[in-house]
Structure 1
Amino acid sequence: MAQVNQSAVPVQALRAPPQPKTVLPAGTEIPLKMTQDVTTKGRGWEEGDQFNLAVAAPVMLGDFVVIPAGTKGVGRITWLTSRGAFGKSGKMDIELEYLELSGRRINIDGTYRQEGDGATLATVGGVIVAGLFAGFITGKSGTIPQGRELTATLESDLPVALPEGANLAPVPVQATSVAPVEASDEAELVTEAAESVSTEVAEIDDSNAAVEEPVEPNPE
């Protein structure tokens, strides 16, 4: 019996899912601001509570807005202690968790610590802090006030669908050609320049002659 040539059987190719051509890269900084006060004072906040933020300025990719200003953000209190006796200050750690955009959650990174006896909001894990962090303290309770700015970073690449026909590549600069100067025109320009110089020299000579004209002595 003849053997079947296995190498002659074609391989069935499968269509791979399309990959996004454009992404907002992971690590992109996202400016945020608090939309409510979070404090260790009293019993209003506890560990595990979520709080709201908003994107403070649009996040751009080239000339396109990917994350508009005002987009809602959510953070969480991961650790909290209230102020106590003997000068003990209130402390808390917060984590910036995600944004809500077009019906989906976009994960972000950002971890901060607020201590009631400090003047600044510290970062945990090297996350960048935006804005000035003076005036965070209410007595010795740790407080992050409404309007305070923080910075988060994008956790992973975010696929972006650009408008049809849009392109992030820079538009090449078109070089413009300069019309060549004809020989006769060039000679005419040189002649005009020479005549102009000659006229200026003549005016200077006349001026010097007027200055050097001898003055007749007064007969008196």
Structure 2
Amino acid sequence: MQVKRVLAAVCCCCCLAGGAVQASEEFHDVKTPVVGVEFPVEEPAVKPNIQERTKAILDEYNDPKRPKTHHGVELGHVYIPKGTPLMLALQEPISSKTSKEGKAFKLKSLEDVVINDVVVIPAGTTCVGKVLKGRGNRGFGRGGKLELSIAAIKTLNGVTVPLNGYIKGRGKKSSTWFAPWWISAFLKGKELNYKEGQLFRVTVSRNTDLKVTGDELGDAMGYPADGKPSIYVKPME
């Protein structure tokens, strides 16, 4: 009798686990943008000496060869303002089940970024993201997890534009309150899946110097806006 009870429990457990595995896929709505945020700041392993750091900053600031800048932009240059939005589309699927740390993936911009009536990042520009962490679903109802980095995109003249592109997502957790622990251990949450075409909305993380003056902008990019909506900035003063 005791053996029959154990076998029945094992069968029940396997059935529940099998059902959990079959229903453990969750696909994010492609048309709902995933919003990127600022990257978390990590504390340095060794804190710098304040006096040495202050001296280095002052030496750099007082260097006569150093270009004069304001908010990170050389005086007289035009720039992409901090907070400028970009909409990116994923070019390949990503899943918490198969994506491991370090995996690269491609995205494509969907809209032109126009500064002073000149396209500086045209629609269709590709950039590369990276999986920071990937973990499949687990027992006790835990869903899969993904942490992604979309760190930068380049302008037509090769300037790297930093982005607030930190993405953290988790698959839906499965309820395990009804089951004893030895069954809950086999019940898995859902994997997190981003399909090809998934939208990601990110923003420029800081004012980005385009390395040209207003008069040089058109020649540097060679891509007129043709009446498209533009962001207008004054050369940094």
- The alignment's TM-score, normalised by the length of structure 2, stands at 0.48
Q: Are 2:170 and 1:115 equivalent residues in the alignment? A: yes
* Alignment check: 8 A CA contact 1:98 1:107 kept: yes
- Measured in 2, the distance between the counterparts of 1:45 and 1:67 equals 29
- Measured in 2, the distance between the counterparts of 1:61 and 1:150 equals 22
* Alignment check: 8 A CA contact 1:116 1:140 kept: yes
User: Partner residue of 1:79?
Assistant: 133
User: Partner residue of 1:127?
Assistant: none
Q: Are 2:187 and 1:140 equivalent residues in the alignment? A: no
> Highest CA radius of gyration, 1 or 2?
1
- Measured in 2, the distance between the counterparts of 1:155 and 1:34 equals 20
Match of 2:109 among 45, 48, 55: 55
- Measured in 1, the distance between the counterparts of 2:158 and 2:114 equals 20
Q: Aligned-pair distance for 1:64?
A: 2.1
- Measured in 2, the distance between the counterparts of 1:104 and 1:152 equals 17
Q: Where does 1:90-169 land on structure 2 (aligned, <5 Å)? A: 90-101=144-155, 102-117=157-172, 140-160=190-210, 161=212, 162-163=217-218
Are the structure 2 counterparts of residues 33 and 63 from structure 1 closer, same or farther at C-alpha, using a change threshold of 3 Å? same
* Unpaired segments ≥5 residues, structure 1: 1-13, 119-138, 170-220
Q: Where does 1:35-46 land on structure 2 (aligned, <5 Å)? A: 35-41=91-97, 44-46=98-100
Cα deviation code 1:166-192 (max 9, x no counterpart): 9x58xxxxxxxxxxxxxxxxxxxxxxx
User: Partner residue of 1:65?
Assistant: 119
Q: Following superposition, which runs of at least 4 residues in structure 1 exceed 6 angstroms of deviation?
A: none
**CA RMSD of superposed structures (Å):** 2.9
Q: Structure 2: which amino acid aligns with 1:100?
A: K
Q: Are 2:84 and 1:28 equivalent residues in the alignment? A: yes
Q: Aligned-pair distance for 1:106?
A: 2.4
Q: Structure 2: which amino acid aligns with 1:88?
A: R
- Measured in 1, the distance between the counterparts of 2:127 and 2:194 equals 15
SS at match of 2:206: coil
* Unpaired segments ≥5 residues, structure 2: 1-63, 68-73, 174-188, 225-231
Q: Which has the higher contact order (CA 8 A, sep 6+)?
A: 2
- The alignment's TM-score, normalised by the length of structure 1, stands at 0.52
Q: Structure 2: which amino acid aligns with 1:65?
A: V
* Alignment check: 8 A CA contact 2:118 2:218 kept: no
- Measured in 2, the distance between the counterparts of 1:22 and 1:98 equals 19
Q: Aligned-pair distance for 1:158?
A: 2.4
Q: Aligned-pair distance for 1:35?
A: 0.9
Sequence identity of aligned pairs in percent? Answer: 25
Q: Aligned-pair distance for 1:68?
A: 0.6
Are the structure 2 counterparts of residues 15 and 86 from structure 1 closer, same or farther at C-alpha, using a change threshold of 3 Å? closer
- Measured in 1, the distance between the counterparts of 2:65 and 2:148 equals 44
- Measured in 1, the distance between the counterparts of 2:207 and 2:196 equals 29
